[in-house]
Amino acid sequence: MTVLGTTGPLLDRTSSLVLTPAVVAHRGASGHRPEHTLDAYRTAIRMGVDDIELDLVITRDGVLVARHESEISRTTDVADHPELAHLRTTRTIDGTELTGWFVEDMTLAQLKTLATRERMPRLRPDNTAYDGREGVPTFTEVLAMVGAESVRRGRTVGVMVELKHAAYFDAIGLPLDRPLLADLARHGLDHPWARVTLMSFETTVLRRLAGRTRLPVVQLLDVAHRRPADLAALGDPTTYGDLVTREGLAWIDDYADGIGPHKALVLPRDTDGAVGEPSRLVRDAHRAWLTVHVWTVRAENRFLPTNLRRGSALDAPGDMAGEVRALLDAGVDGVITDHPEIALRTAREVLAPDVVGRVT
């Protein structure tokens, strides 16, 4: 078995021993394929990732599908379907007003008439070559694919699932957690060693899940001044900055097994946009027995600290490997990235030859 692209036998991924740090493909290998397509996930698995990350929203008839958000005009060809023109609308989700087409207004049959496309065509024009090749995958289709790829490659590929707009979907009578647990049970993935992790930026749905499943739960954390949408809707002033204090981490530890912080919470930037020494977040989280999976690491200059950029073109590749090294040096347990091949290569360089397993 090979792990992180190495050539020697390391750990059996079907056991409870899991290597850290993990390399997690953000929406699949989204630096190379349109995000949240089966091809993006398969490409990442071929690269050797430990886990794929996917976002879930829900159709009008209660089917979970993989999309970054419920408004889909940027990631599908829905605007080219005149039979769906009447579904274009404006609504407010998580405090933001959006106009477009929303998954929750469509049945699965309607959604399956659409083709996917690259969300950032100007930034990643090469990805547009794959536009129109696939439809929107359901959660159960993704799980089936991951299972088949795990068998084919002789290693268990993990799945990190993010529930999007959970409080909003609760409010319109389409809770995400019920079909989520049903789909996982259908695939035999409702046990603690299933290599499935459940994540959200919202605290309420995670607390609910913690009482209904033994799968690991990860509290995602945005930049410090923002607030969890569920708490904000209740008038609670708590910010993500409050949650990364020692008291906040202790509160998270009541229901979660880990945190998923924005990378700026681990590697703060100065006024010039450069990074230096890491914060104490990873150390504090580990003291609270919380794992740390940081997001999102991307190769293009516009997403990198100023001291890791190469040249002046914002869309050109910079020194992403340098950012990954800094995160690994800070002690993170996982790196969630659009460009897993760079993270895998960097992790291999940092870890080899003394790769150590960790019991989870």
pLDDT in the model for residue 19: 56
Residue with the two structure tokens 């005149």: 82
Q: Please say if the pLDDT value at position 239 is more than 80.
A: yes
pLDDT in the model for residue 358: 41
User: What pTM was computed for the model?
Assistant: 0.92
- Residue 271 half-sphere exposure toward CB, CA atoms < 13 A: 0
Give the tokens for residue 33.
Answer: 């394929």
Across the range 288-310, mean pLDDT stands at 98
pLDDT tens digits, 149-206: 999 999 999 999 999 999 999 999 999 999 999 999 999 999 988 999 999 999 999 9
**Contact in structure between 40 and 29 (CB atoms under 8 Å):** yes
The two counts, helices (H) then strands (E), for the chain are 13, 13
Q: Please say if the pLDDT value at position 58 is more than 80.
A: yes
Give the tokens for residue 168.
Answer: 């909003």
**Contact in structure between 307 and 291 (CB atoms under 8 Å):** no
Instruction: Please tell me the CATH superfamily of domain 17-70+136-359, with its number.
Output: Phosphatidylinositol (PI) phosphodiesterase (3.20.20.190)
What amino acid occupies position 235?
Answer: G
Across the range 263-268, mean pLDDT stands at 98
Q: Please say if the pLDDT value at position 16 is more than 50.
A: no
Mean pLDDT of the chain: 93
DSSP string across 5-47: T-SS----TTSSEEESSEEEEETTTTTTS-TTSHHHHHHHHHH
Across the range 301-310, mean pLDDT stands at 98
Across the range 281-306, mean pLDDT stands at 98
Q: Please say if the pLDDT value at position 10 is more than 50.
A: no
